[in-house]
Amino acid sequence: MASLQNSPSLHRSLFLNSHPQPHTHLAPAFSCCTRRPSSLLVRADASVSPDRPGRRQLLAVGLILPSVPLLSQNSVAFAAESKKGFIPVTDNKDGYKFLYPFGWQEVTIEGQDKVFKDVIEPLESVSVTVIPTNKEDIREFGSPQEIGETLMKKVLAPPNQKKKLLEAKERVVDGKAYYTIEFVAQAPNYTRHALSTISIANGKFYTLTTGANERRWGKMKDKLQTVVESFTLSNV
């Protein structure tokens, strides 16, 4: 674990990976975001109630800004072949794919390969980070518990938050090992419940992190579990 704990590049590259800010901090969090040609960046308005009838549905189908389509034709076609309620993402360059819930919007954040967020519930998001490594298997860094504790404390949440690792386990897909960790990070005004999955392939260390506000965990946990379990790597 020493090589993982003492890796400044790992900490620097992943630090933004899983701690989005609540509504009161949306402006700083989104100030580094730029619009991609095929994506839409929408700012959440703290003055609008998250429970306002119909707003989430309007956002999901793109009616709030009818002149800008939320999904490309390819994304819609892929969605038809995917699990209901989810949109698939395939990155052929870096060799990974996963699903994210329909209605989340893509944003660009420096240091992260992919980020999708819910514009109403900003703590609900998924992000992927890819950094180089000379390891060939995630097990070379240690056990799920060891890596989970290190990443949770040093990388996946701000250092001033109270963190607790709830579970760390290994799954194997097509002979490749993935570690999945579940943890909570408590800030003064909110608690985020998160899931991360970590693996190695193609000379790269991959981390996908998703999560939600603790108050919505009961509603979101099945969706977030689907996101984590959908993350798989391929040789490129």
Question: Whole-model pTM?
Answer: 0.70
Please state the three-class secondary structure of the chain as a single string.
Answer: CHHHHCCHHHHHHHCCCCCCCCHHHHHHHHCCCCCCCCCCCCCCCCCCCCCCCCHHHHHHHCCCCCCCCCCCHHHHHHHHHCCCCEEEEEECCCCEEEEEECCCEEECCCCCCEEEECCCCCCCEEEEEEEECCCCCHHHHCCHHHHHHHHHHHCCCCCCCEEEEEEEEEEEECCEEEEEEEEEEECCCCEEEEEEEEEEECCEEEEEEEEEEHHHHHHHHHHHHHHHHHCEECCC
Burial class (CB in 10 A: 0-12, 13-18, 19+), 193: buried
* 83 confidence band (pLDDT: 50, 70, 90): confident
Burial class (CB in 10 A: 0-12, 13-18, 19+), 18: buried
Number of Cβ within a 10 Å radius of residue 154: 17
The CATH number of 2-233 is 3.40.1000.10
* 74 confidence band (pLDDT: 50, 70, 90): very low
Over range 157-174, report the average pLDDT: 94
* Whole-number average pLDDT of the chain: 77
Give CA–CA dist 230/156, Å, rounded. Answer: 20
Q: Tens digit of pLDDT for each residue in 24-50?
A: 333 333 223 333 433 333 333 333 334
Strand order in the sheet with 125-132: 105-107, 114-117, 125-132, 204-213, 191-201, 176-186, 162-173
Question: Given a cut of 90, is residue 180 above it in pLDDT?
Answer: yes
Phi/psi of residue 33, nearest 5 degrees? -95, 140
What share of the chain in percent tops pLDDT 70?
Answer: 65
Q: Tens digit of pLDDT for each residue in 88-140?
A: 999 999 999 999 999 999 999 988 999 999 999 999 999 999 999 999 999 99
- Greater pLDDT, 47 or 175: 175
Q: What is the pLDDT of residue 25?
A: 35
In the chain, the amino acid numbered 70 is: L
Number of Cβ within a 10 Å radius of residue 56: 16
Question: Given a cut of 70, is residue 75 above it in pLDDT?
Answer: no
For the chain, which residues make up each domain, given as ranges? 2-233
Most confident of 2-11, 73-82, 164-173: 164-173
